Structure 1
């Protein structure tokens, strides 16, 4: 059996669901295919930045987001303790939230379905379907079924079967981070702060990364760490053991469970986060790349949810616009949108990604940030920048 749509979206995570919701607004025939059955767990830090919250609000989910655990500030340990408030930016909230991806992703997929997109779960996309000219004209499921579309959006993750089959490469390929987290109970009060620990050492080297403690409400916390692969010995790090060592640096009175217990209950999850555009240009004839498939993670911080939402919304809009006005052979409009929104930020981020991989540079950076006078000047500049023009999807 072969079915045909205006837009076929491989992957029902935040980027795929955002693209489906955006495209369905136009009345387009949209289908979302995902190998999982929702709700399903997804390893993540579970933090929603103010920008991520703003995209969810624009999608009509303000009431649902308001029910998530709210965070109003960031507490940084460098190792000196200092606080940041969310900057006040025109048209954006001055706070963030935390929510498990199990809940968030199911909400977004249901929202796309409510907008008119067809959702098919337990449907694993294994490769793209190509025409005689090599243009993507649909996808092939593990069952052998073909699902055809005027355009395809690849939202199928860091290990995208579509991207692999097309042998997509990029001059920016290779930029990624390794992250690991576990959710656990802690004997401490619930908090409205995202805690960031910048001093993260491996065999005496300061790593280009950070640890986090994010409150989830009800005495639960998402605790994890991440580091980028520009550090020369990153493959020598046993991420699970490293997370256990990080847990030992946190206050003993929290009575956190040992890493062995967390491993037994399978709450420890690690993942790779591609960043800085690992597929560029972000399209080929018939297909657009979004989220982790695009390498949309922010090179400096690894923030991924806001970038997934932004790329998905842009791709959904640009795909339908291109199909309406020219056809599926050219999605330059999407590349222009992504370059305008992220180009300068990601060029700078890739530079820092490389630079901070050298432990002496990372050490110097920590010393600078830990210097109150320098930090105050830096924060003043950042808050001033936050008041400037903001990109929209």
Structure 2
């Protein structure tokens, strides 16, 4: 059986659901496909920056988001402690939130459906449909069903079946972060900061990464570590062991569970996060890439939710605009949009990752950062100002 739509979207995470919401609002026939049944969890830091919060507000979800635990600042440990307040800017929130992905993604999925998108759960996309000219004309489901569409948005994650099926190479050498996290109870009052620990070592080497403690409210936190694969020995790292070593540096009176307990309860979750564009150009005839399939995460911090939402909304808008005014063979408008907004930042970020993968340089930079007392200089040196504030 073959069904046809204006736009088929593979993956109903933040990027896919944002794209479906954006496109469906125009009256387009949109289908949103995901292999899971919602609610479902996804490994993530579960922290929303002000920029991510702003995109959710633009999508009409301000009241829903406000119900979740609020964060007002970041605390950076380098290892000395310093604070970064989220800036106050006209029209922008000065806060973020702690929210589990099972709740966030279900909210976004329902929002796309309310906008008019057809949502199909337990519908796993296994690859693209391609015509004789090489243009993507839809997707194939694991069930054998073919879903035809004038255009496809591949928001199907780091291991994108659509991208794999097309055997694409990127013009940019993006990097990936390897991360592991667990949600757990903590014996401390609820707090309102995203806590980031920059001193993260492996066999004496300073890693290009950090550990985090993000609050979820109700006496629970998300604790994790992440590091970039620009470090030449990254494959030798046991991420579970690294997380345990990081947790051992946190206050004992927090009474955190052991790594063994977290493993037994299956609370540990690891993942790969593509950063700095791993699919470029971000389109091919008939298909646009968004979220992790694009490698949209910020290359300095690995922050992914805001960029997933932003890339999804841009892909949805550009896809419909191109289909209305020329057809599915050319989505240069999407490439121009992404390049104009992120180009300079992501060029710097790819260079940053390359340099940060050299332990001696990263260690020396961290010593300089730790010796400086001026908050403004620190934030600019680390690019945290643009990263956490969401610029």
> Is the shorter-chain TM-score for this pair beyond 0.5, marking a shared fold?
yes
1:188 and 2:188 aligned: yes
**SS at 1:370's partner residue?**
helix
Shift of 1:90: 2.8
Aligned with 1:91: secondary structure?
coil
Please give the per-residue CA displacement for 1:271-317, whole angstroms capped at 9, x wherever unaligned.
Answer: 00001110000000000000000000110000000000000000000
Secondary structure, aligned partner of 2:94: coil
The verdict on how the C-alpha distance between 1:43 and 1:383 changes in structure 2, with shifts beyond 3 A counting, is closer
Q: Secondary structure at the match of 1:143?
A: coil
Q: Which residue of 2 aligns with 1:51?
A: 51
Alignment check: 8 A CA contact 1:297 1:304 kept: yes
Deviation track 1:223-261 (CA, whole Å, cap 9, x = no partner) reads 001000011111000001111111111000001000000
Q: Is the 8 A contact 2:174 2:295 kept in 1?
A: no
Superposed displacement of residue 376, structure 1: 3.8
- Look up the match of 1:290: 290
Confirm whether residue 301 of structure 1 aligns to residue 301 of structure 2: yes
Alignment partner of 1:40: what SS?
Answer: coil
Structure 1 residue ranges (4+ consecutive) displaced by more than 6 angstroms after TM superposition: 380-386
Corresponding residue for 2:172? 172
**Structure 1 position 107 matched with structure 2 position 97:** no
Matches of 1:376 and 1:281 in 2, distance apart? 35
The answer to whether the 8 Å contact 1:368/1:374 transfers is no
Residue 128, structure 1, aligned to residue 128, structure 2: yes
- C-alpha distance in 2, partners of 1:191/1:324? 48
Q: In structure 1, list runs of 5 or more residues that go unmatched.
A: none
Match of 2:245 in 1: 245
Q: Distance in 2 between matches of 1:153 and 1:336?
A: 17
Shift of 1:371: 1.9
Q: Does the Cα contact within 8 Å between 1:87 and 1:383 map onto a contact in 2? A: no
1:33 maps to 2:8: no
C-alpha contact (below 8 Å) 1:291/1:312 kept by paired residues = yes
1:372, distance to aligned residue in structure 2 (A): 2.6
- Larger deviation: 89-98 or 11-20? 89-98
Question: Which stretch of the first structure deviates more once superposed, 108-117 or 374-383?
Answer: 374-383
Query: Does the residue aligned with 2:75 lie in a helix, a strand or coil?
Result: strand
Q: Which residue of 1 aligns with 2:16?
A: 16
Contact 2:138–2:146, Cα closer than 8 Å, also in 1:
yes
Residues 52-131 of structure 1 aligned to structure 2 (within 5 Å): 52-131=52-131
Unpaired segments of 5 or more residues in structure 2? Answer: none
TM-score, with structure 1 as normaliser = 0.96
In the alignment, which residue of structure 1 is the partner of 2:231? 231
Structure 2: distance between partners of 1:377 and 1:194: 20
* TM-score, L = length of structure 2: 0.97
- 1:308-387 to structure 2, matched below 5 A, reads 308-373=308-373, 375-379=375-379
Q: Is the 8 A contact 1:45 1:214 kept in 2?
A: yes
Could you give the per-residue CA deviations for residues 368-390 of structure 1, whole angstroms, max 9, x where no partner exists? 2112345542437899986xxx9
- The residue number in structure 2 matching 1:268 is 268
- Contact 1:18-1:309 within 8 A present in 2 as well: yes
Q: How many corresponding residue pairs?
A: 388
- CA distances 1:48-73 after superposition (whole Å, capped 9, x unpaired): 00000000000000000101110001
Asked if the contact 1:126–1:142 (Cα under 8 Å) also holds between the matched residues in 2, the reply is: yes
Q: Distance in 1 between matches of 2:22 and 2:375?
A: 40
Distance 2:117 2:371 in 1: 51
Deviations 1:73-123 (A, max 9, x none): 111111101111001223210111010000000000000000000000000
- When residues 116 and 172 of structure 1 are mapped into structure 2, their CA distance, relative to the original with a 3 A threshold, is same
State the alpha-carbon separation in 1 of the partners of residues 143 and 97 from structure 2: 39
Matched with 1:212 is 212
Shift in Å at residue 168 of structure 1? 1.2
User: Are the structure 2 counterparts of residues 127 and 93 from structure 1 closer, same or farther at C-alpha, using a change threshold of 3 Å?
Assistant: same
Q: Are the counterparts in 2 of residues 183 and 267 from structure 1 also a CA contact under 8 Å?
A: yes
Whole-Å Cα distance in 2 between the matches of residues 242 and 293 of structure 1? Answer: 27
- Aligned equivalents of 1:67 and 1:385: distance in 2? 26
**Separation of aligned partners in 1, 2:151 and 2:173:** 24
- Quickly say closer, same or farther: Cα 1:145–1:216, change in 2 above 3 A: same
Gap change, CA 1:222 and 1:361, over 3 Å in 2 = same
